[in-house]
Amino acid sequence: MSEVDATERRVRFYGVHDMATGLHFPRVAELAEGFDPKSVPSSTADMLELHNVQQYLEHGFFPNAYSEEQCNHAKALIPQIHSAVARYFSSVDNTNFAATVAGVRHDYHGDLLYLLGRNKAFERCESETVLPALSAAGVRLGELLASKKLVQAYDAEMRDVLRASPHSAEYLVRKYLQDDVKGEIHLPPSFTPVDARELLEDYVDSEDANPNYVGLIATAKESSLSGIDAKLKLRAKRRSDEISASFFNENAGFKTGCEVGISETQDDPVVFELDTSEELVCRYTYSKRWLEESSDNPGIFNNFLHLFEFADLQALLLLPSYPAHLGVMERFMGTTGKYEYKIGAAFRAIDMSTLLQTHLYHCFLESKDIDLEQVISWFFEEYLVQEFGASNFSFTPSDRGSSYLQKVRHLFAEMESVANQFTLFARDGELDRDLLAMGSEQVKYKEIPSLLDGKYVCPSESEEIAGILHLLFSDQSRLHYINESLNADNAATLLLENQIAYDDFEDYQKPTVDHLIKLGVLEDTGARVQLANSEQFLILKALFATQAASYYHLSDAGRATADDMVTKGWATRSSSLLTDAEGKYFNYFLNGVDFSNGPQLRNKYLHGAQASIGGDDPHFRTYITALRLTVALVIKINDDFCLAAPDDGNTCGGCHTLDSM
Q: What is the pLDDT of residues 405-431, one digit of tens each?
A: 999 999 999 999 999 999 999 999 999
Q: What is the pLDDT of residues 639-659, one digit of tens each?
A: 999 999 987 544 444 445 665
Predicted confidence at residue 613, as pLDDT, reads 55
CA distance 341 to 332: 15
Predicted confidence at residue 603, as pLDDT, reads 83
Tell me the C-alpha to C-alpha distance, in Å, between residue 83 and each of 30, 47, 51, 87. 19, 11, 10, 6
Predicted confidence at residue 524, as pLDDT, reads 96
Predicted confidence at residue 650, as pLDDT, reads 43
Helices (H), 59-168: 68-76, 78-90, 97-101, 109-118, 121-124, 127-136, 141-145, 148-153, 155-163
The yes-or-no verdict on residue 4 having pLDDT over 50 is no
The yes-or-no verdict on residue 253 having pLDDT over 70 is no
Classify the phi-psi angles of 275: left when phi > 0, otherwise alpha if psi is within -120 to 50, otherwise beta: beta
The C-alpha angle with vertex 417 and arms to 415 and 421, in degrees rounded to 5, equals: 120
Can you give the residue ranges of every domain in the chain?
294-444+581-644, 456-574
Helices (H), 319-462: 328-332, 345-367, 372-378, 384-388, 404-428, 433-437
The C-alpha angle with vertex 566 and arms to 564 and 572, in degrees rounded to 5, equals: 155
Q: What is the pLDDT of residues 351-387, one digit of tens each?
A: 999 999 999 999 999 999 999 999 999 999 999 999 9
Predicted confidence at residue 490, as pLDDT, reads 94
* The pairing of beta strand 529-531 with beta strand 522-524: antiparallel
Cβ–Cβ < 8 Å for 453, 594: no
Cβ atoms within 10 Å of 496's Cβ, excluding its own: 12
The yes-or-no verdict on residue 607 having pLDDT over 80 is no
Cβ atoms within 10 Å of 218's Cβ, excluding its own: 22
The yes-or-no verdict on residue 578 having pLDDT over 50 is yes
Q: How confident is the model at residue 27 (pLDDT cuts 50, 70, 90)?
A: confident
The yes-or-no verdict on residue 465 having pLDDT over 60 is yes
Predicted confidence at residue 538, as pLDDT, reads 97
Cβ–Cβ < 8 Å for 214, 240: yes
Q: How confident is the model at residue 334 (pLDDT cuts 50, 70, 90)?
A: low
Nearest CA to 572 among 468, 452, 459? 459
- Within 8 A by CB and 6+ apart from 221, the residues are 228, 339, 592, 596
Residue percentage of the chain with pLDDT more than 90: 72
Q: In this structure, which amino acid lies at residue 132?
A: P
Q: How confident is the model at residue 8 (pLDDT cuts 50, 70, 90)?
A: low
The mean pLDDT of 173-184, rounded to a whole number, is: 87
Predicted confidence at residue 22, as pLDDT, reads 65
Residue 487 pairs with which residues in a beta bridge? 481
- Whether the full predicted model's pTM is greater than 0.75, yes or no, is yes
Nearest CA to 608 among 470, 406, 314? 406
When comparing pLDDT for 341 and 180, which is higher? Answer: 341
Q: Mean pLDDT highest for which of 23-27, 566-570, 591-595?
A: 566-570
Cβ atoms within 10 Å of 333's Cβ, excluding its own: 9
The mean pLDDT of 542-567, rounded to a whole number, is: 97
Q: What is the pLDDT of residues 51-82, one digit of tens each?
A: 999 999 988 888 777 888 888 988 999 999 99
The yes-or-no verdict on residue 508 having pLDDT over 50 is yes
Cβ–Cβ < 8 Å for 570, 561: no
Predicted confidence at residue 655, as pLDDT, reads 46
The yes-or-no verdict on residue 350 having pLDDT over 80 is yes
The mean pLDDT of 538-561, rounded to a whole number, is: 97
Nearest CA to 311 among 282, 344, 368, 354? 354
Residue 257 pairs with which residues in a beta bridge? 281
Predicted confidence at residue 658, as pLDDT, reads 66
Angle between helix axes 44-58 and 109-118 (nearest 10 degrees) is 90
The mean pLDDT of 211-219, rounded to a whole number, is: 92
Predicted confidence at residue 397, as pLDDT, reads 97
Instruction: Provide the mean pLDDT of the chain.
Output: 90
Nearest CA to 137 among 99, 164, 85? 99
Range list of β-strands (E), 525-594: 529-531, 549-550, 571-574
The yes-or-no verdict on residue 2 having pLDDT over 80 is no
Is 36 buried (19+), middle (13-18) or exposed (0-12) by CB count in 10 A? Answer: exposed
The mean pLDDT of 585-596, rounded to a whole number, is: 91
CA distance 12 to 9: 9
Task: Spell out the long-range contacts of 366-375 with Cβ–Cβ below 8 A and sequence spacing 24 or more.
Answer: 368/292, 368/295, 370/295, 370/300, 371/397, 371/400, 372/300, 372/627, 372/631, 373/397, 373/398, 373/411, 373/627, 375/297, 375/300, 375/301
Predicted confidence at residue 340, as pLDDT, reads 87
The mean pLDDT of 463-490, rounded to a whole number, is: 93
Q: What is the pLDDT of residues 300-313, one digit of tens each?
A: 999 999 999 999 99
